[in-house]
């Protein structure tokens, strides 16, 4: 599996050092959690901050929009330097239009589902997106406990993607650490978001190596 570190729990006053830490760990990209205080009960940062972060690293920016109206700011996030734009199927955005807006800017489009949303919610869009992000905690905060009852949903999604011969990547977000990563790899996840476990790890490079060593159930679908 690939690793996308969530910088939500990093020291934002020294974010350049935190990017250097992420690069030194050998991680594959960086996960940026955007919260609007409406869709989730927390507030983080938006396009101006991402634009200032962009020159600090060459890593892919995997941007996770926890916003009620993500379609209003797709161009702003594209201008700021997002590479992958994840938005929630439960948001109040027109799904197909938002996907089209992301792709029109040459960015990868990803649909995200909260724990209580069934896999079927993204089935109508699977041939139009690059990735599905499955939440394994309620979005809003880092450091929460992994919800193991999401594993059948991930496996169901993997089966549907494979049955239709699509090359949609599956990413998982929330509570991923040494103890939980093997189960999501076995269920068919390609990319693991790792936040607090990576920033608190005694040896971040060893944790990234360990996750890299886990084979996704169908590795053919793994795209950097």
At its nearest, how many Å lie between Zn ion and the CB of residue 220?
Answer: 25
For residue 191, what are its two tokens?
Answer: 């990319």
Q: Is 112 in the site for ligand DX5 (CB under 6 A)?
A: no
Residue number of the CB closest to Zn ion reads 64
When computed from its CA atoms, the radius of gyration of the chain, rounded to whole angstroms, is 16
Q: Decide which of Zn ion, ligand DX5, none touches 175; Cβ closer than 5 to 8 Å per partner kind.
A: ligand DX5
Nearer to ligand DX5, 40 or 161 (CB): 40
Produce one character per residue of 122-158: b if its CB has 16 or more CB atoms within 10 Å, e if not.
beebeeebbbbbbbbbebbbbeeebbeebbebbbbbb
φ, ψ of residue 108 to 5 degrees: the values are: -80, 135
Active site residue 28: no
Q: Which is catalytic among the residues 28, 33, 36, 62?
A: 33
For residue 33, what are its two tokens?
Answer: 């959690």
φ, ψ of residue 187 to 5 degrees: the values are: -80, -10
Among 19, 34, 64, 80, binds Zn ion (CB under 5 A): 64
Q: Which is catalytic among the residues 36, 62, 130, 173?
A: 173
Active site residue 162: no
Nearer to ligand DX5, 106 or 114 (CB): 114
Binding site for ligand DX5 (CB under 6 A): 6, 8, 31, 33, 64, 137, 139-144, 173-176, 193-197
Enzyme catalytic residues = 33, 173
């Amino acid at each position: 599996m690939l690793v996308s570190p969530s910088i939500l729990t990093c020291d934002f006053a020294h974010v350049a050092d935190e990017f250097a830490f992420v690069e030194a760990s050998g991680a594959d990209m960086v996960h940026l959690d955007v919260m609007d205080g409406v869709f989730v009960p927390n507030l983080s940062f938006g396009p101006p901050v991402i634009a200032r972060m962009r020159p600090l690293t060459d890593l892919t920016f995997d941007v996770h929009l926890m916003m009620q109206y993500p379609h209003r700011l797709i161009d702003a996030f594209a201008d700021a330097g997002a590479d992958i734009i994840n938005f929630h199927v439960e948001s109040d955005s027109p799904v197909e239009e938002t996907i089209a807006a992301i792709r029109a800017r040459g960015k990868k489009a990803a649909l995200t589902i909260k724990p209580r949303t069934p896999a079927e919610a993204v089935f109508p869009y699977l041939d139009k997106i690059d990735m599905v992000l499955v939440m394994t905690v309620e979005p809003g905060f880092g450091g929460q406990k992994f919800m193991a009852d999401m594993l059948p949903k991930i496996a169901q999604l993997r089966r549907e993607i494979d049955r239709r011969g699509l090359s949609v990547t599956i990413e998982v977000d929330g509570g991923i650490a040494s103890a939980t990563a093997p189960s999501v790899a076995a269920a068919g996840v390609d990319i693991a978001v790792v936040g607090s476990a990576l920033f608190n790890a005694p040896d971040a490079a060893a944790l990234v190596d360990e996750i890299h060593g886990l084979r996704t159930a169908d590795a053919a679908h793994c795209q950097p």
